[in-house]
């Protein structure tokens, strides 16, 4: 972990301000913390205490921040006892949080970032979109889910139809960020297929000059990221991926979240928590 990121990690008690449940056992949790709201970078995460009963914390990506009100939002899905306990937390309760943690995404001079998020990998893409809205970047976000999306999809104002993909995430629409949705389920206004299939439709709609300005940023399940990395290679595009791994300490001490990467000197092991979670796709896949 570099010194800059190490110095930003804090242990803070955060008050629960809102806790919304959505279909598919998905939740959006709003917590109050000045330090996390002000210092978080897209792609970073927090290590959150789920209950007094379970000592092991859970890593959750930060989806968005409100710097004016010093709050931040987390999207998570109940998949085990830990997140089940977290889902029981009530408004007004205090939750111990460590963060912000990790090396986030690095924006480059490519002005047409393509953001691809799947499932609970959607939040880092929303975080990037929020950080570059009202700049000279012109992002296009593709969000995928196999359960109902944790927001009320709406028709995009740009009127473009990408093979049935006409709907978007309202928050991104408010930010002026182009977005389309993908799923293998039959949802109105949602592309039926994988996020990478929709990404191909989008990329094929661009001119050669526009393609030269694209860099891919992605987070989601491992098979999805592998497919995104292949997509980037096929189109000769740079690509950054944020990995999802189980973590114990989340601050680099236990080495429980290591992954193999390729370096100039051969294979090496890197810790997802502090060396990542964001890596160049070419060294991971």
In this structure, are 72 and 119 located in the same domain?
no
pTM for the structure as a whole: 0.95
The whole-number pLDDT of residue 55 equals 87
The verdict on residue 263 lying in a domain is no
* Number of domains composing the chain: 2
- Of the chain, the end-to-end C-alpha distance in Å amounts to 22
* Among candidate residues 101, 126, 147, the one where a domain is terminated: 101
Number of H helices, E strands in the chain: 9, 17
Asked whether residue 93 falls in the same domain as residue 56, the answer is yes
CATH classification at residue 63: 2.40.30.10
pLDDT in tens, 216-275: 999 999 999 999 999 999 999 999 999 988 888 888 888 889 999 998 889 989 999 999
**Radius of gyration for the alpha carbons in the chain, expressed in angstroms and rounded:** 18
Q: Picking from 53-62, 108-117, 254-263, which range would have the lowest pLDDT averaged per residue?
A: 254-263
The answer to whether position 196 is within a domain reads: yes
- Kindly state whether residue 249 falls inside one of the protein's structural domains: no
CATH number of residue 186's parent domain: 3.40.50.80
pLDDT of residue 8: 67
Asked, for residue 270, whether it belongs to a domain, the answer is no
* 52-56 contacts, C-beta under 8 A, 24 or more apart: 53/85, 54/81, 54/82, 54/85, 56/82, 56/248
**Is position 264 within any domain?**
no
In a domain, 259, yes or no: no
Pairing between strand 71-77 and 26-32?
antiparallel
Range of the domain at 44: 3-101
Q: Are 138 and 223 within one domain?
A: yes
- Residue ending a domain, among 101, 125, 153, is 101
Residues 88 and 138 grouped into a single domain:
no
Whether 183 is in a domain gets the answer yes
Cβ atoms of residues 240 and 110 within 8 Å = no
Would you say residue 246 lies in a domain? Answer: no
């Amino acid at each position: 972990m570099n010194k800059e990121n190490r110095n930003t990690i804090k242990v803070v008690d955060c008050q629960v301000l809102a806790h919304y449940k959505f279909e598919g056992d998905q939740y959006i949790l709003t917590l109050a913390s000045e330090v996390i709201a002000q210092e978080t970078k897209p792609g970073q995460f927090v290590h959150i205490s789920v209950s007094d009963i379970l000592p092991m914390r859970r890593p959750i990506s930060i989806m968005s921040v409100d710097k004016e009100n010093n709050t931040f939002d987390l999207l998570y899905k109940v998949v085990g006892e830990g997140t089940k306990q977290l889902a029981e937390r009530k408004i007004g309760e205090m939750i111990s949080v460590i963060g912000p943690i990790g090396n986030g995404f690095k924006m480059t001079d490519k002005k047409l970032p393509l953001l691809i998020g799947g499932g609970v990998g959607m939040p880092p893409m929303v975080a990037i979109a929020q950080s570059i809205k009202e700049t000279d970047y012109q992002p296009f976000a593709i969000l995928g889910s196999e359960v109902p999306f944790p927001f009320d999809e709406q028709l995009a104002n740009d009127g473009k139809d990408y093979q049935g993909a006409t709907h978007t995430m309202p928050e991104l629409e408010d930010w002026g960020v182009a977005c389309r949705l993908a799923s293998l389920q039959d949802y109105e206004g949602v592309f039926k297929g994988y996020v990478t299939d929709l990404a191909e439709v989008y990329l094929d709609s661009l001119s050669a000059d526009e393609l030269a300005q694209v860099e891919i940023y992605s987070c989601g399940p491992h098979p999805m990221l592998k497919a995104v990395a292949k997509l980037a290679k096929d189109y000769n595009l740079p690509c950054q991926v944020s990995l999802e791994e189980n973590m114990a300490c989340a601050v680099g001490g236990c080495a429980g979240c290591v992954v193999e990467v390729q370096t100039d000197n051969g294979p090496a092991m890197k810790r997802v928590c502090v060396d990542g979670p964001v890596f160049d796709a070419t060294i991971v896949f």
